Each structure stands twice: as C-alpha cells, then as structure tokens.
Structure 1
Amino acid sequence: MKKPPQRLCIYPKDIVRITGKSERFSRDLIQRIRLKLGKEEHHFITIEEFCNYVGLQEEKVKELIRD
C-alpha cells in the first residue's frame, strides 16, 4: 500500500488548525517567519521551518495537518 504524499509547505489554514488562532494571526505569523529567515514574499515556509520557529515537534504537526 502506498503512503500518501506529504506536503513540504505550511499554509495559514494549517496554522489555524494547530493553534486555534485566527487566519489573520496565521498569515502574520508566516510573514514574521519569512522575515526572520530572510525569505522573499513569494517564498513558501516549510513545515520544518515553522516547527523550528514556534518550538513544536514536526511529527505532531504533520499529524494535525494530514489531509
């Protein structure tokens, strides 16, 4: 049986599901992560980068955002 493909990127809706905060908060958080990492506006944020920034375990986050 094939494993479903895993995403690399995290989106505001995922952060809403993880934190329970608003979508606006989630967009702002992604923007703050981009600025800290020196990424441009069109660059994506990976799940790993998100986890490192907020201090959560990557495996637990992946469980919560599984589609």
Structure 2
Amino acid sequence: MNRLCIYPKEVATITGKSLSSSRALIRLIKDAHGKSKRQLVTIKEFCDYEGLPYEEVFNMINKVPYAIEH
C-alpha cells in the first residue's frame, strides 16, 4: 500500500534542508491549506507548494522503482 503523506524527515531529504527547517516548511504548508497541527500534509500538497513533480516525489517516498528510458 502506498503512502499519501509526507513527514519532515522526508522533506529534509528531498530539499536538503535541516530537519528544523523542514518542520517549519510543513507548518507553512499546513497554514496555507488551513490545516490544524494534528492534520497531515499530503505529498501532493507538498509538491504543489514547492513546485516539485508529484510523480517523482511520490515514487521516491513509496520506493517505486524508476523505469529506465533508453
């Protein structure tokens, strides 16, 4: 089963930011979407906010192997 949510540790890995900066970014995304502290941020919300390609981030988080193109 694939995950739909993203956590600060993954944000740090993807963006190269520190864990504390990644937590702050998650808070900004929650604020932008009117979410409470307890609600999770989806991969799509993160990608839309950061302007990143959803499929690539989703596949990376869910460890989906990339197809090799020739």
TM bucket by the smaller chain? Answer: 0.7 to 0.9
Give the corresponding residue for 1:48: 44
Structural RMSD (CA) = 1.1
Give the corresponding residue for 1:34: 30
Cα distance in 2, alignment partners of residues 24 and 66 from structure 1: 23
1:20 and 2:16 aligned: yes
Q: Structure 2: where are the runs of 5+ without partners?
A: 64-70
Give the corresponding residue for 1:59: 55
Q: Structure 1: where are the runs of 5+ without partners?
A: none
Identity %: 48
Cα distance in 2, alignment partners of residues 17 and 7 from structure 1: 17
Runs of 4+ aligned structure 1 residues displaced above 4 Å come to: none
Q: Which of the two has higher C-alpha Rg?
A: 2
Aligned length: 63
Cα distance in 1, alignment partners of residues 37 and 22 from structure 2: 15
The structure that is strand-richer by fraction is 2
Q: CA deviation at 1:16?
A: 1.0
